[in-house]
Structure 1
Amino acid sequence: MIVSLVYQVTRKLLTVPAMLLRRDTAKNAELLVLRHENAVLRRQLTRPVRYEHADRLWFAALSSLIPRRRWAQVFPVTPATLLAWHRRLIARKWDYSKRRRRPGRPSTAGDVKALVLRLARENPRWGCRRIQGELVRLGRPVGSTTVWEILTAAGIDPAPRRSRPTWRDFLTAQAESIIACDTSRE
């Protein structure tokens, strides 16, 4: 334990002069500080670090800038892990399963469905063909079978016999003629 600690400290101390002799000494010194801080924080962890997808992409992109022999010192994962992430990234690029279109016709827009149901409720004697004709007139061309399916799914009878006239409707519509019939008998 102590031998490995002495080895690690000696190794870090020997890399300091080499890094400081380069042109970008301030940047390299900052990198050394950050690496040491990273090593200290990793020693305090109790379980392995889980990297997110963005972290994996970042490591994979940076791996092309660093020589492969230095990967073990630079990256927090093994080279085999980095290569496996890269393989998965390439495989995902050529996997078109999420980009495929769903089979069948596209569904009807929600506003058209709402308009069909509104026309059916406000005009109980209209059938699906009449509602379809009104939609075409309003600039929303939809097939009559689509109107039929929308009404059926909503639990409304798509035929014009949806609601037969009640006695009240009949008497209201024929009130004048009924009164005229009753008065002409005398």
Structure 2
Amino acid sequence: MGHADRRRTGRPPTAAALKKLVLRLAKENPRRCRRRIQGEPAGLGHPIAPSTVWEILHAAGIGPAPRRTGPSRREFLTTQAERIIAADFFHVHTITGRRLHAPAFLEHGILRLHITGITAHPTAQWATQQARNPTADLGARVASLRFVLRDRDSKYTDSFDAVFEAEDMDVLLSAPQAPHRNAHRERVIGTIRREVPGHLLSVNQARVPQVLTEHREHYTTHRPHRSRGQRPPEAQAQPAVLHDRVPRRLLCTRVLGGVINEYR
């Protein structure tokens, strides 16, 4: 209730109305102390004592501001999605049973996927080189990224982190044995495991990069994503809706030998 509302009604707000306002301010502004919360009603023409604000918050079980500062991890990842790139390593097997390792970097904001290399013997030096590859691929977009989200795998060393820190990014570590803390990364790796090695065994190491590149192209240029309104990462907007009734031919493109189909 502002000045205009008070002049119109001719009555000050009730205690219940002020209590409701204080609780709303505390909920919508969790980093504000009670002094700042007190200032909002005062600015609306309804001064309230700091002790009254404290009593209202205390009765509602809302602690002092230091206990309420900072967003939760989920809130942080949501609000900072456009500025986060997540890193992880996954593995695939050849038909001979050889285990190959590949790094995956996922831009949270638009879900653009980068798969930068593959090896049977991942070392710390190799991992550091893989960190350099996406920063080169990102080009000017690297300036818009602020955080690198990774787990505590031993392949991540100070040299790996230094590649991103040189681009003014902060490295965020997920908790041990907590894959849900990097859920976007886990989801894309799960997609790769289901759609690539689960249906297509590669004969040798030379074939695996071709398979992963083809899948990455599908993932970034055609695959619809619910979080992006059923748009692929590379799409700026949905195609125009066709309102006419002109019959059109549906074209199907087989990806990875028919493991995945694309329609146009």
TM-score over 0.5 (shorter chain): no
* TM-score for the superposition, normalised by structure 1: 0.36
* TM-score for the superposition, normalised by structure 2: 0.26
Which of 1 and 2 has higher RCO (CA within 8 Å, sep 6+)?
2
Structure with max Cα Rg: 1
Greater helix share, 1 or 2?
A: 1
